Chains A and B, each alone.
Chain A
Amino acid sequence: MNIFHHAIQIDEAKCVGCVHCMRVCPTEAIRIREGKAMIIQSRCIDCGQCMRACPAKAFYIKQNDLKMLQDYKYRIALFPAVMIGQFPDKISEEQIYQAMLALGFTHLMEVEQPIKILIDLTKEYLQETQVSKPCISAFCPAVVRLIQIKYPSLVDNIIPLKAPHDLAAHFILQSLMNQGVKKEEIGIFYITPCAAKISAVKSPVGDQPSVVDGIISMSDFYNKVRQLIPREEETETSSQRKHLTREGVLWSTSRGESSRFGNRAIAIDGIHSVVKFLDRLENDEVQGFDFLEMRACDQSCAGGILMTGNRFTTTERLEQRSKNYPSYREKELDKTLDKHKLTQCLLIDEIKPYNAFSLDDDITRAMEKMTKAQRIICFLPGIDCGACGSPNCQALAEDMVQGNAKMSDCIFLQQRWQHEARIGVEKAFLNLEKRWGEGRFNADCNKRGRRNEGF
């Protein structure tokens, strides 16, 4: 079952077969097979934890080439405000903008520019009495996917409004088309701080396809921009930021949303904290809150997996920068734009749950499998070492009942069998090599994962 597009890929040539990624995955979506990591697609939420943990840099994301720019007359770079925050203080906003224009873009659009529309719409939504509280923002696509696959009873709590990049894309599209530009002449490129946003663009939660034409990784983009930074500010680019507001600049940092909505709002960042909180929320253990801001990355988008700068200094620069801009309350929407049409573009039709953790679609069969897994667990050591290629003993038992692993994958069980003379030494070693790759255990001083590598 592959419902979602996935941005995160594994380069098998680089994967050295360790367990770092498997250990940190919040949805137990990674297994090691024949010495290589593999992703269980139905469980992956593109949060990027694996990418962060990999000592061999074997994870990568699929992105578009900047050469694609040549196909369009009007070339728009959509990027979140955190982009600016990554640069050292000595490089000014103007210089960064000029470097981006030098890359070949005609229009630069920080996605949070028209944030007032999203703030107003969200406020309206929160005032409706029949909505399930607490409402959860759909801002972070990894969180939305997590809820879809792991917390199906909470899908109704998600606010069915798209993220700022969708709003910005429609906003710039409408502005240009109002000036008489043809749609096919416009190429919209989203510079993404994370993998989850890529998936959100390639397979949006609702049914309509996204209007974004290409995706560019922030890390590559940062390097390119950095090389083109002019020595001195040459031209005035502030007109490209005329809609930017204080709230917009801070939107993708932690508390960017929660400080705007509800009487009682919470902001949670970091995927493992989000998981813990959703667990409690599903039990009704948490009550009385109106709004939840949840972001997969520590320090929200400032800590995005494709971001270059330190997440704390990035946040601080944005805080300083926000002071130079007016509040959204002082801004009026461009009169030439059709607010109703923009609003329509922001609605998500339906957020469906997809339980990725059931043992079987059929309850009776699922129960048989569970009974079997519970019996298997009795034989496993409970050390959760991951040497079997599954993240923990429970997961190994479940993999076994699904036919994806064997008893002999447990190295401790194999050891016991050898001790009881039920299996030969040679056979046991071959089993290990089958899981971890031939020659994987030979002495090798240049082996990846040696001292001082990894964590």
Chain B
Amino acid sequence: MIELRFILEGGDFDRAGTASSETKKILKQLNIDPRVIKHTVVALYEAEVNIAAHAYRGEVTITVSDHQIVAVLKDEGPGIADIKRAMLEGFSTASPKVREMGFGAGMGLPNMKKNADVLEVESTPGSGTTVKMIFDF
């Protein structure tokens, strides 16, 4: 089993993508199916951008075993008040500033759901959100 850990800062769009890029390199070395890698990396990148756009700080833990990849992204932030609505395409609470940077189109969570085999979102408004994604292979 391989475990990877990354720390993310809220507002740091420049570094969003580091965890997904690093993870991608490792998954290729493990000879995992390119399609699974693609799904994992795309979903992970969306999740990273979410933390950069909404949270204050976050921690990513990736665990790779012989049959699946589990990604847990835990952040300290405002949390999500209505998770059901947040899962709808086009729904976004991103600030105008974030939108100006080309993010916040309301496709983040839907895109994560599309790419992950399992997506679990837990959130406490005012304290933070934990996203867990599982990718089977």
Task: List A residues at the B interface (Cβ < 8 Å).
Answer: 150, 152-153, 279-280, 282-285, 353, 355, 357-364, 366-367, 370-371, 374, 398
Q: A283-B20, A283-B45 are in contact. Are A353 and B34 (CB under 8 A)?
A: yes
Query: Which of A153, A358, A371 counts the most chain B CB atoms within 10 A?
Result: A153
B20 contact set on A, CB distance < 8 A: 283
The answer to whether the Cβ of B94 comes within 8 Å of any Cβ in the partner chain is no
A-contact bits for B35-54, CB 8 A (1 contact / 0 none)? 10110011001000000000
The CA-CA distance from A285 to B66 in the complex, in Å, is 28
Q: A153-B38, A367-B2, A370-B2 are in contact. Are A361 and B45 (CB under 8 A)?
A: no
In chain B between 1 and 56, which residues have their CB closer than 8 angstroms to a CB of chain A? 1-2, 17, 20-21, 24-26, 28-32, 34-35, 37-38, 41-42, 45
The answer to whether the Cβ of B72 comes within 8 Å of any Cβ in the partner chain is no
Besides A153-B35, A282-B24, A283-B41, 11 other A-B contacts (C-beta < 8 A)? A153-B37, A153-B38, A282-B38, A282-B41, A283-B17, A283-B24, A283-B42, A284-B45, A355-B31, A366-B29, A398-B29
Write the nearest CB–CB distance from B119 to chain A, whole angstroms: 17
The CA-CA distance from A447 to B92 in the complex, in Å, is 65
**7 closest pairs, A vs B, by CB?**
A358-B31, A152-B34, A153-B34, A153-B38, A284-B42, A366-B30, A283-B45
The CA-CA distance from A153 to B39 in the complex, in Å, is 10
- A285 adjacent to B35 (CB under 8 Å): no
Closest to B45 in A: A283
Query: Which of B17, B32, B34, B37 counts the most chain A CB atoms within 10 A?
Result: B34
The CA-CA distance from A283 to B42 in the complex, in Å, is 5
The CA-CA distance from A152 to B29 in the complex, in Å, is 12
The CA-CA distance from A366 to B31 in the complex, in Å, is 7
Query: Which of B21, B25, B31, B42 counts the most chain A CB atoms within 10 A?
Result: B31
Closest to B42 in A: A284
Q: Which of A285, A357, A359 contacts B45 (CB 8 A)?
A: A285
Q: Which of B26, B31, B38 contacts A363 (CB 8 A)?
A: B31
The answer to whether the Cβ of B64 comes within 8 Å of any Cβ in the partner chain is yes
The CA-CA distance from A364 to B32 in the complex, in Å, is 11
17 A-B residue pairs with Cβ-Cβ distance under 8 Å, sorted by A, are A150-B28, A153-B34, A153-B37, A153-B38, A282-B24, A283-B24, A284-B42, A355-B28, A357-B25, A357-B28, A357-B29, A358-B28, A358-B31, A364-B66, A366-B29, A370-B2, A370-B29
B31 contact set on A, CB distance < 8 A: 355, 358-363, 366
The CA-CA distance from A349 to B98 in the complex, in Å, is 44
Q: Which of B21, B30, B37, B66 contacts A370 (CB 8 A)?
A: B30
- B66 adjacent to A363 (CB under 8 Å): yes
- A367 adjacent to B64 (CB under 8 Å): yes
The CA-CA distance from A243 to B41 in the complex, in Å, is 46
B32 contact set on A, CB distance < 8 A: 363
Q: Which of B21, B29, B42, B45 contacts A358 (CB 8 A)?
A: B29
Q: Which of B21, B26, B64, B66 contacts A283 (CB 8 A)?
A: B21
The CA-CA distance from A358 to B29 in the complex, in Å, is 4
B34 contact set on A, CB distance < 8 A: 152-153, 353, 355
Closest to B102 in A: A287
The CA-CA distance from A364 to B34 in the complex, in Å, is 17
B30 contact set on A, CB distance < 8 A: 358-359, 363, 366-367, 370
A374 contact set on B, CB distance < 8 A: 2
Write the nearest CB–CB distance from B16 to chain A, whole angstroms: 9
A363 contact set on B, CB distance < 8 A: 30-32, 66
Closest to A359 in B: B29
B45 contact set on A, CB distance < 8 A: 283-285
B1 contact set on A, CB distance < 8 A: 367
The CA-CA distance from A285 to B44 in the complex, in Å, is 11
B64 contact set on A, CB distance < 8 A: 367
The CA-CA distance from A360 to B30 in the complex, in Å, is 7
- B28 adjacent to A285 (CB under 8 Å): no
A361 contact set on B, CB distance < 8 A: 31
The CA-CA distance from A32 to B2 in the complex, in Å, is 30
The CA-CA distance from A153 to B45 in the complex, in Å, is 16
Q: A282-B38, A357-B29 are in contact. Are A371 and B2 (CB under 8 A)?
A: yes
The CA-CA distance from A408 to B42 in the complex, in Å, is 40
The CA-CA distance from A358 to B34 in the complex, in Å, is 12
The CA-CA distance from A279 to B20 in the complex, in Å, is 10
Query: Which of B28, B42, B64 counts the most chain A CB atoms within 10 A?
Result: B28
Write the nearest CB–CB distance from B19 to chain A, whole angstroms: 10
B42 contact set on A, CB distance < 8 A: 283-284
Q: Which of B2, B17, B26, B29 contacts A285 (CB 8 A)?
A: B17
A358 contact set on B, CB distance < 8 A: 28-31
Closest to A155 in B: B34
B38 contact set on A, CB distance < 8 A: 153, 282
The CA-CA distance from A332 to B45 in the complex, in Å, is 48
The CA-CA distance from A150 to B24 in the complex, in Å, is 11
Write the nearest CB–CB distance from B23 to chain A, whole angstroms: 10
Write the nearest CB–CB distance from A273 to chain B, whole angstroms: 16
